[in-house]
Amino acid sequence: MDKINLYEHRVSYYETDQMGIVHHSNYIRWFEDARIDFLEQAGFSYKKMEDTGVMIVVLGASCEYKISARFGDRVIVIPKISEFNGFKMKITYRVINKENGSLLATGETLHCFTDLNLKPVRTKKDHPEIYKLFYDYIDVDLDKI
């Protein structure tokens, strides 16, 4: 399994709100950024998605906020495929302050696989190479490989 470079983000000014912290909706966006970055490195780039006609749809998203990120902070967002059965997938996330290692937030997103018409796809049967790709990363902590 190839090493995955962890997704790093520097907090933008426009991501703050008048409480002086990052607005809570942005963590959901960071999850997406980190997920896309991970999947691309793992071999499932957006181009691959288009070529195979398999889409990953968001069914749910959640975040628990522990310590507020602030303007200028460098944060690391680490996704992990915690559940995957070929047509549904749960990814969990940890948001870490890069400088001091503290855990800022955790979260998860739930997904299903569909074709371009949003019809469910069972990757195990229909796209075994995609199935294998995700299967291999189940429960893998990207910061420990």
Residues at the interface with a second copy (CB under 8 A): 12-14, 16-21, 23-26, 28-29, 32-33, 36, 46, 58-65, 71-72
For a second copy, the closer CB: 20 or 101 = 20
For a second copy, the closer CB: 43 or 124 = 43
Angstrom distance (rounded) from CA 75 to CA 93 = 12
Q: How many CA atoms lie within 13 A of 131 on its CB side?
A: 11
Q: In angstroms, give the least distance from the CB of 26 to a second copy.
A: 8
> Which is the catalytic residue, given 2, 17, 141, 143?
17
What letter does residue 82 receive in the DSSP assignment? Answer: E
For a second copy, the closer CB: 55 or 133 = 55
- Distances in whole angstroms, Cα of residue 145 to Cα of each of 15, 53, 60, 137: 31, 30, 28, 11
Q: In angstroms, give the least distance from the CB of 99 to a second copy.
A: 13
Q: Which of 4, 26, 28 is nearest to 13 (CA)?
A: 26
Angstrom distance (rounded) from CA 17 to CA 132 = 42
Is 17 designated active site?
A: yes
Q: In angstroms, give the least distance from the CB of 119 to a second copy.
A: 15
Q: So which residues are the catalytic ones?
A: 17
